[in-house]
Amino acid sequence: MATLVGGIAVSHTPTIGFALDAHKQNDPAWAPIFETFEPVKRWLREQKPDVIVYVYNDHVTSFFFDHYSAFALGIGDEYGVADEGGGARDLPAIKGNAQLARHIGMSLSADEFDMSFFQDKPLDHGFFSPISALIDRDEQGWPTRVVPLQVGVLQFPIPTARRCYRIGQALRRAIESYPEDIRVVVMSTGGLSHQVHGERAGFNNTPWDHQFMDALTNDPEALAQMTHAEFAELGGLEGAEVIMWLIMRGALAGNVKKVHSGYYLPSMTGIGTLVLENTAAPLPGAAHERHRAHMAQQLVGAEKLSGTYPFDLAASVKAYRLNKYLHAMIDEAHRRAFLEDPERSFEAAGLTDEEKDLVRRRDWRGLIHYGVIFFMLEKLGAVVGVSNLHIYAAMRGETLEAFLQTRKTKAMYSVAGNTQKTESWSSEPAER
């Protein structure tokens, strides 16, 4: 079983990354940042976590308000460095652990947290600012993998402090029930006290910062009862993002061992560091088996439905590249490039030989088996002039005529905006 070693809380201000990149480690104004980080670095070197479950908030870099979620879990294989406006920092991408991420996603959903999931999104200073100062890397890259959990704390309504604490408790169940023998650390970021907008910009409250870190260690339940307005009054509106620290704390045992606590206020944000070791005794194996059964409950029996393939997180990761390519058919330039020179279009998208072949042959059933979701097929069909009915027939291995005999009407349709293309639909599909 996975071992939840402990938790780290750390601020994620851009100050940290700037000071590191500008080689300010020995500058008197900046050195205290790195001094308070050093015990955290040492602890991570000693513990050697295989994976860090990293709780952070994006700063409207990779996530925008066209779709803003409360909890978004990264399930991909790799995460690059985001460009926040002035060019990306010169850091290598960090590998994800997609298998653990899928397990966590299934577990949190089974525990009735309404999750969203992301891939192919770079991480901004909410991740790379503290990580770059806490973990040594070499020519091979980073020595650990990451499962990022992005919390939407910028557009109200946002999750309550209580909800954050509870998802942390659910995160513990997810990690401890993971069957692989790996070492996991939960790291939460954000805060401490600061406000960066309005006439209150520059607000700090050092006594509250210390009180908060002490309560997080010894009395997290009290913090979970607080409102966003109370956090904002004491720590600034942006400082209210410290509710994410409760996710880390909820993932640990009721009693923890404090290994390190540090604090420094160089400019706009109180920079805090906190390391807590987990003291929980391992649960008996049967408890984890019951939890995994709980995770799988909603799809028990689906495997008996012949010709039925739920589009799950594993399929989403496996076929992400091909689904993304087919989804791009909603863009006119991409459609034109595909129709004019499909092979060049395939190469530009980096499709594998198997993926290219599936699209070339319009192997509708094979695409489903590969992990493509049906709604990408109807987009491809609309582009190449194949109706939905042709695709349905191909799924069943039937002729269009035979399939239509099973319908109340003989209506032909697709999602194509130009209905004049329907005149080119033949009575038989040219491909499978």
Q: What is the pLDDT of residues 210-220, one digit of tens each?
A: 999 999 999 99
Looking at the fold, whether 279 and 330 belong to one and the same domain comes out as no
Predicted confidence band at 392 (pLDDT cuts at 50, 70, 90)?
A: very high
Looking at the fold, whether 234 and 334 belong to one and the same domain comes out as no
Catalytic residue chosen out of the listed positions 12, 103, 194, 288? 194
Average pLDDT value for the chain: 94
Average pLDDT over residues 338-355: 98
Long-range contacts of 409-418 (CB under 8 A, 24+ apart): 412/387, 413/387, 413/388, 413/389, 414/378, 414/381, 414/382, 414/386, 414/387, 414/388, 415/378, 415/379, 415/381, 415/382, 415/388, 416/382, 416/383, 416/385, 417/382
Looking at the fold, whether 37 and 123 belong to one and the same domain comes out as yes
Lowest mean pLDDT segment, chosen from 157-161, 169-173, 387-391, 415-419: 415-419
Is residue 122 over pLDDT 70?
yes
Domain assignment of residue 137, yes or no: yes
Domain assignment of residue 314, yes or no: no
Average pLDDT over residues 263-278: 94
Domain assignment of residue 144, yes or no: yes
Span 149-176, pLDDT tens digits: 999 999 999 999 999 999 999 999 999 9
Give the per-residue pLDDT at 425: 65
Percent of the chain exceeding pLDDT 70 equals: 97
Looking at the fold, whether 79 and 186 belong to one and the same domain comes out as yes
Give the per-residue pLDDT at 417: 83
Domain assignment of residue 342, yes or no: yes
* Pair of tokens at residue 412: 């032909």
User: How many structural domains does the chain have?
Assistant: 2
Residue 160: CATH number of its domain: 3.40.830.10
Is residue 430 over pLDDT 50?
no
Looking at the fold, whether 10 and 88 belong to one and the same domain comes out as yes
Active site residue 125: yes
Find out whether 25 and 206 touch, Cβ atoms under 8 Å. Answer: no
Looking at the fold, whether 155 and 253 belong to one and the same domain comes out as yes
Is residue 148 over pLDDT 50?
yes
Domain assignment of residue 401, yes or no: yes
| Residue 409 CB burial class (10 angstroms; 0-12, 13-18, ≥19) | exposed
Is residue 422 over pLDDT 70?
no
Query: Residue 425: which of 387, 391, 383 has the closest Cα?
Result: 387
Find out whether 18 and 133 touch, Cβ atoms under 8 Å. Answer: no
Residue 360: CATH number of its domain: 1.10.700.10
Looking at the fold, whether 364 and 277 belong to one and the same domain comes out as no
Looking at the fold, whether 222 and 326 belong to one and the same domain comes out as no
Looking at the fold, whether 119 and 221 belong to one and the same domain comes out as yes
Active site residue 194: yes
Identity of the amino acid at 213: M
Domain assignment of residue 296, yes or no: no
What is the C-alpha to C-alpha distance for residues 31 and 17, in angstroms, rounded to an integer? 13
Is residue 273 over pLDDT 90?
yes
Span 58-74, pLDDT tens digits: 999 999 999 999 999 99
Domain assignment of residue 292, yes or no: no
Query: Residue 424: which of 395, 384, 379 has the closest Cα?
Result: 384
Find out whether 65 and 157 touch, Cβ atoms under 8 Å. Answer: no
Give the per-residue pLDDT at 214: 97
Looking at the fold, whether 26 and 156 belong to one and the same domain comes out as yes
Domain assignment of residue 9, yes or no: yes
Looking at the fold, whether 22 and 89 belong to one and the same domain comes out as yes
Span 243-258, pLDDT tens digits: 999 999 999 999 999 9
Catalytic residue chosen out of the listed positions 12, 103, 125, 291? 125
How many CA atoms are closer than 13 Å to the CA of 389, on its beta-carbon side? Answer: 19
Domain of 337 in residue numbering reads as 319-424
Span 11-62, pLDDT tens digits: 998 889 999 999 999 999 999 999 999 999 999 999 999 999 999 999 999 9
Task: Please identify, among 286, 311, 345, the residue that sits at the C-terminal boundary of a domain.
Answer: 286
Lowest mean pLDDT segment, chosen from 136-140, 169-173, 356-360, 416-420: 416-420
Task: Please identify, among 267, 286, 305, the residue that sits at the C-terminal boundary of a domain.
Answer: 286
Looking at the fold, whether 245 and 98 belong to one and the same domain comes out as yes
